[in-house]
Homo-oligomer: A and B are copies of this chain.
Amino acid sequence: MKSSNSRFNKCLYFSANALARKVEKLAAESWKKIGMAPSHAYLLMMVLDEPGAQPGTIANEMQLTPSTITRLIEKLEEKKMVVRASEGKITNVYPTSKAKELYPKMKACLDDFYKKYVEILGTDESIRMVQNMNKLTDKLPV
């Protein structure tokens, strides 16, 4: 069923969700090569770029709730990809060497994902679409 043929095709709720699910799937395919879910991968990349990042900061950047970030970090800890160092109420998250070693492969997965959707949408439309979605997201209430 094409979404443009659905009875729901005029509804932002429906369209935004359907799109997100499909994009998630496409991304999951790219990240599968290193056996990681996209959300884990994005969090890990952020920690690799910014070692010691705090859960609250990560939550802000990823626009996810702190509790979700805690749960994602737990998973990454189980995989020995990050460690937490708590001091007082502050927690810092650091990448392990295992994660650092994985970095090039992660880059490759990300590139693969970009390539995949640019191939489908074209460079211009991809960029425009992402920009529009961000603009829309920013306009919606927190």
Contact = CB atoms under 8 A, between A and B. Distances in A.
A14 to B, nearest CB: 7
B42 A134 contact: no
A111 to B, nearest CB: 12
Contacts of A24: 13, 16-17
Interface string A1-12: 111101111111
A138 B61 contact: no
A99 to B, nearest CB: 17
A126 interface: yes
A137 interface: yes
Residue in A15, A22, A125, A138 whose Cβ sees the most chain B Cβ within 10 Å = A15
A83 to B, nearest CB: 21
Describe A's contact surface by its main secondary structure: helix
Interface stretch (A71-79, A87-95, A113-121): A113-121
Contact of A3 (B12, B22, B138): B138
Contacts of A38: 13
27 contacts: A1-B60, A1-B61, A1-B63, A2-B134, A3-B134, A3-B138, A4-B135, A6-B62, A7-B61, A11-B114, A12-B117, A13-B38, A13-B113, A15-B130, A15-B137, A16-B16, A16-B133, A17-B23, A17-B24, A18-B63, A18-B137, A19-B133, A23-B140, A26-B141, A120-B139, A125-B136, A129-B136
